[in-house]
Amino acid sequence: MQAIRNLLVVMEPERPEGLALKRAKLIAGVTQSQLHLLVCDKKHDHSAYLKDLCATLNREGYNASGQQAWHENLHQTIISVQQAEGCGLVIKQHFPDNPLKKALLTPDDWKLLRYCPSPVLMVKTDKPWTGGTVLAAVDVGNADDEHRTLHASIINHGYEIANLAKAKLHVISAHPAPMLSAGDPTFQLKETIEARYRDECKSFQAEYDIADECLHIVEGPADSLIPKVAHQLNAAVTVIGTVARTGISGALIGNTAEVVLDSLESDVLVLKPEEIIAHLEELVANH
């Protein structure tokens, strides 16, 4: 987070609450990042709005620029500008789709999480980050290289946000329920699953300096447990990763980051592993 020099803030002129800009100002105030404001609209002219807003921000001591753009659809517009401006983080307010529309069409915000090469911060509330709780969601049971790298990124970003907001970092790792059909006998008994996870978590805790009271190991599906624990802790931000393959179609069906987006009551920071980022940047360049 400290290394990010340029924040892309997606602005919605017709929605006056401007939650994305509030979060961007908080981050830029600590990291000295530049704010690049983007209005995605092909119909109306927002140049006066952007000019006034940038002037106000510059007077307040921020380094702000702005543009209006449109490339085919919302998520492609955001990603094109993110790549062109070299922005290290996209900040956007999340507006949930109605369930019927979501059943028929993939929501724009899901597409942004799938295809954007940079981390994306989805702002959902105006709850203050300062002095609150940051929840980082990891899958300790997956120790392959891709997950290990992603876990490091999730925990590091979690600590950075906690330092930035003088908040406390908590970590959640969900583990599967017992399955009698599991080939590995470890996964047939509740006690052995939990014991195995606790063991794996001990080295994880030591590596990342996480106190026992800040680690939450829970049994069941991550997509229902992450929002539940975030609610119990009254988390201001939840940091989550996605390792799902993008493939040609980019279909990340059932990806936890997407599924929990509407059910979480906190802001959501979504991260990806390096190899997926490289793949997505290549797709954008060839588009």
Based on the fold, state whether residues 30 and 151 are members of the same structural domain: no
- My answer on whether 147 and 74 are in the same domain is no
Residues 151 and 267 in one domain: yes
- Helix, strand, coil percentages (3-state) for the chain, rounded to 5, are 45, 20, 35
User: Residue 101 falls within a domain, yes or no?
Assistant: no
The CATH number assigned to the domain holding 190 equals: 3.40.50.12370
Is residue 122 in a domain? no
Q: Assign 3-class secondary structure to 178-247.
A: CCCCCCCHHHHCHHHHHHHHHHHHHHHHHHHCCCHHHEEEEECCHHHHHHHHHHHHCCCEEEEECCCCCC
Phi, psi torsion values for 203, nearest 5 degrees: -70, -35
- Look up the pTM and report it: 0.88
Write down which residue in 93, 120, 143 finishes a domain: 93
Per-residue pLDDT of the chain (287 residues; tens, 9 = 90+): 656 889 999 999 988 779 999 999 999 998 899 999 999 999 999 999 999 999 999 999 999 999 999 998 999 999 999 999 999 999 999 987 776 766 667 788 888 988 888 999 999 999 999 999 999 999 887 767 777 888 889 999 999 999 989 999 999 988 766 554 445 555 455 566 667 777 778 888 898 999 999 999 888 888 889 999 999 999 999 999 876 555 544 444 447 777 788 889 999 999 987 766 676 777 777 76
Q: Looking at the DSSP assignment, which residues form a beta bridge with residue 40? A: 69
148 and 74, same structural domain? no
Question: Which of 93, 114, 145 is the last residue before a domain boundary?
Answer: 93
The domain boundary, picked from 67, 93, 119, lies at 93
Enclosing domain of residue 33: 6-93
240 and 188 assigned to the same domain:
yes
Contact 208, 155 (CB under 8 A): yes
Assess if residue 124 is contained within a domain.
no
**Do 204 and 282 lie in a common domain?**
yes
- Domain with residue 86: its CATH number is 3.40.50.620
